[in-house]
A = this chain, B = another copy of it.
Amino acid sequence: MTREDRDVGVATWALFLRTHAALVARLEHELDEARRLPLPWYDVLLELNAAQGRRLRMQELGNRVVLSRSRVSRIVDEMARAGLARREPDPADGRGSYAVLTDTGRSALHDAAPVYLHGIATYFTGQLSDAELQIMHDALRRVLEYAGSTPAPPKQPSG
């Protein structure tokens, strides 16, 4: 790797950080503006809707939305209070607890999805060619897999 290439690497990393910050702020703003919906709530709705039986264990939900179990626990509480989800104990294992999407939640998702999708289409994919998109997809998959495969900073250790 030449010196220029290394500079491109650091520069790209910096761009990655700034772009992430800008885009997340953007989408959060539009989602809140249009639907009064925090981004993490949207993510939870999305994952629950995609899951078998529209329900997920707390831990699994946390993994998918990239939030700690404790945060998920509180968010599901709030969403339950708002009627978008409800809790259900796991009949097979008394320790486990499910978050289940309600009809209200489902309709909130269908209501919010166009806003979010439009944001992505406008600010992200809209600025990229099909080829770029495909390359980024493959590249990010590789990076993510590597970061996940290696010894990892223990996020919320077992006990």
Using CB atoms and an 8 Å cutoff, list the residues of chain A in contact with chain B.
Answer: 1, 5-6, 8-13, 15-26, 28-29, 66, 117, 120-121, 123-128, 130, 132-144, 146-148, 150, 152-153, 155
Contact = CB atoms under 8 A, between A and B. Distances in A.
A129 B130 CA distance: 19
Q: Tell me how many chains of this kind the complex includes.
A: 2
A12 B143 contact: no
Query: Lowest 6 CB-CB distances: which A-B pairs, in order?
Result: A9-B125, A29-B153, A15-B140, A22-B147, A12-B137, A19-B144
Nearest to A46: B14
Nearest to A33: B153
Given A143-B23, A143-B128, A153-B29, A121 B15 contact: no
A22 B141 CA distance: 12
Contact of A10 (B120, B135, B139): B120
B13 A120 contact: yes
A23 B120 contact: no
Residue of A120, A124, A141, A147 with most partner-chain B CB within 10 A? A147
9 contacts: A5-B130, A12-B124, A13-B120, A15-B144, A16-B124, A18-B144, A23-B147, A25-B153, A123-B143
